């Protein structure tokens, strides 16, 4: 039985293999979700300026009573805060809302397609924050193999992570390979395919959570489809951030360290890939991203 509890980032910082995601977690429910997660053993929270719940994440962390250094805190800069000064200010807004002095991981929420110079300037601001010790690691999210090399051509510090949509219906082999080629850890967002049921750009479709193959494989281990999918990720070296506001499901999603999937089982899950994303296409401009401003702290 292999029980990997942390992954090494490319700068030597360690990240828990599983964290709590709070995308779409309403602010009023965020503090309780974070507190519950920390109580059952999670030590990583992934939020974003654009989720508008950083303040409540900070409150949950404080209420847990755990020492600051026991918890890995990750947040994301939104595109309207891209640019040299803007991104430094975006960091100040984030730490003020979280009530923290230093972040464990700060990433760009996505490439600003159509304004890529601002994306580069934003990443260079992350590099400065990293050099100054304000953040322990930096990275990106939603950088496809189109955008990743363009970023790497312009910057010094290789991203520690690239957080991308990844679940059994959207496996993104090319993106995973591009990340791996540069020593970038792939973080899976919507790791249990929540986006396949609540609907992304394509609206609700067939849900991973009721997939017959996943149900069959999960049942053989006495586990749920969500637990099976999370185990599939971590055995293949991907970090996961399942979202839940439900205490029982928060606990269920963390209970994945007492079983192991065979190569054949992993391959059967890989084979469910449809090649269809639920989130927005990052290779085309998304002007609506720029309609949204992040409030001051």
Catalogue the active-site residues.
51
Binding residue for ligand A2P, selected from 195, 217, 269, 294, defined by CB under 6 A: 195
Q: How far is the CB of 115 from ligand A2P (least distance, A)?
A: 28
Count of residues binding ligand A2P (CB under 6 A)?
Answer: 19
Between 123 and 169, CB nearer to ligand A2P: 169
Is 286 a residue that touches ligand A2P (CB under 6 A)?
no
Give dist(CA 223, CA 85) in Å, integer.
Answer: 48
- Choices 45-53, 97-105, 147-155, 243-251; region in contact with ligand A2P by CB under 6 A: 243-251
Work out which of 192, 217, 256, 294 binds ligand A2P, going by CB under 6 A. 192
19, 58, 90, 191: which one contacts ligand A2P (CB under 6 A)? 191
Stretch that binds ligand A2P, among 38-46, 70-78, 194-202, 215-223 (CB under 6 A): 194-202
| Residue 242 engages ligand A2P in binding (rule: CB under 6 A) | yes
Could you give the C-alpha distances from 48 to 79, 98, 143, 158, 278, in angstroms and in order?
Answer: 11, 11, 16, 21, 19
- Residue 236 touching ligand A2P (CB under 6 A): no
Residue number of the CB closest to ligand A2P reads 194
Write out the two tokens for 67: 């020492």
Q: Is 200 an interacting residue with respect to ligand A2P (CB under 6 A)?
A: no
* C-alpha–C-alpha distance, residues 70 and 127, integer Å: 24
- Any residues with CB less than 8 A from the CB of 259 and at least 6 apart, and which? 221, 222, 223, 227, 231
Question: Pairing between strand 105-108 and 138-141?
Answer: parallel
CA separation for the pair 34, 57 (Å, rounded):
6
Site for ligand A2P contains 221 (CB under 6 A): no
Contacts of 278 (CB under 8 A, 6+ apart): 165, 169, 170, 190, 193, 195, 196, 199, 200, 201, 202
The encoded tokens of residue 235 equal: 């055995």
Member of 244, 265, 282, 289 binding ligand A2P (CB under 6 A): 244
Token reading at 17: 């293999």
Is residue 226 within the footprint of ligand A2P (CB under 6 A)? yes
Q: Given candidates 243, 261, 277, 294, which one binds ligand A2P under the rule CB under 6 A?
A: 243
Tell me the closest approach of the beta carbon of residue 125 to ligand A2P, in angstroms. 28
Considering only 43-51, 150-158, 170-178, 185-193, which stretch makes contact with ligand A2P by CB under 6 A? 185-193
**Nearer to ligand A2P among residue 13 and residue 40 (C-beta):** 40
DSSP string, 2-31: ----EEE-TTS-EEESB-EE-TT--HHHHH
Task: Please answer whether residues 187 and 193 qualify as being in contact, where contact means their C-beta atoms are separated by less than 8 angstroms.
Answer: no
- Give the whole-angstrom CA distance, residue 208 versus residue 211: 5
Q: How many whole angstroms separate alpha carbon 187 and alpha carbon 166? A: 8
Q: Is 249 in the site for ligand A2P (CB under 6 A)?
A: yes
Residues forming the site for ligand A2P (CB under 6 A): 21, 190-195, 198, 209, 224, 226, 242-246, 249, 252-253
């Amino acid at each position: 039985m292999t029980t990997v509890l942390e992954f090494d980032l490319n700068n030597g910082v360690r990240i828990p293999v599983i964290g709590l995601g709070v995308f779409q977690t309403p602010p009023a429910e965020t503090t309780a979700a974070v507190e519950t997660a920390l109580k059952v053993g999670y030590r990583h929270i992934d939020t974003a300026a654009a989720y508008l719940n950083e303040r409540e994440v900070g409150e949950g962390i404080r209420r847990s009573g755990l020492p600051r250094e026991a918890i890995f805190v990750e947040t994301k800069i939104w595109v309207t805060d891209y640019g040299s000064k803007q991104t430094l200010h975006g960091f100040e807004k984030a730490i003020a809302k979280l009530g923290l002095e230093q972040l464990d991981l700060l990433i760009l929420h996505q490439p600003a397609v159509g304004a890529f110079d601002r994306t580069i300037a934003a990443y260079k601001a992350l590099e400065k924050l990293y050099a100054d010790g304000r953040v322990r690691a930096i990275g990106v999210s939603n950088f496809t193999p189109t955008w990743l090399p363009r970023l790497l051509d312009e910057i010094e510090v290789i991203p520690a992570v690239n957080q991308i949509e990844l679940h059994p219906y959207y496996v993104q082999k090319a993106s995973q390979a591009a990340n791996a080629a540069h020593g970038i850890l792939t973080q899976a967002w919507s790791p249990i395919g929540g986006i396949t049921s609540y609907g992304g750009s394509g609206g609700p479709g067939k849900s991973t959570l009721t997939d017959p193959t996943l149900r069959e494989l999960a049942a053989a281990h006495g586990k749920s489809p969500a637990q099976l999918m999370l185990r599939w990720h971590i055995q293949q070296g991907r970090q996961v951030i399942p979202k839940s506001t439900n205490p029982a499901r928060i606990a269920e999603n963390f209970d994945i360290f007492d079983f192991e999937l065979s190569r054949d089982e992993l391959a059967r899950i890989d084979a469910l890939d449809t090649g269809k994303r639920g989130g927005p296409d990052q290779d085309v401009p998304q002007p609506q991203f720029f309609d949204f401003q992040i409030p001051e702290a």
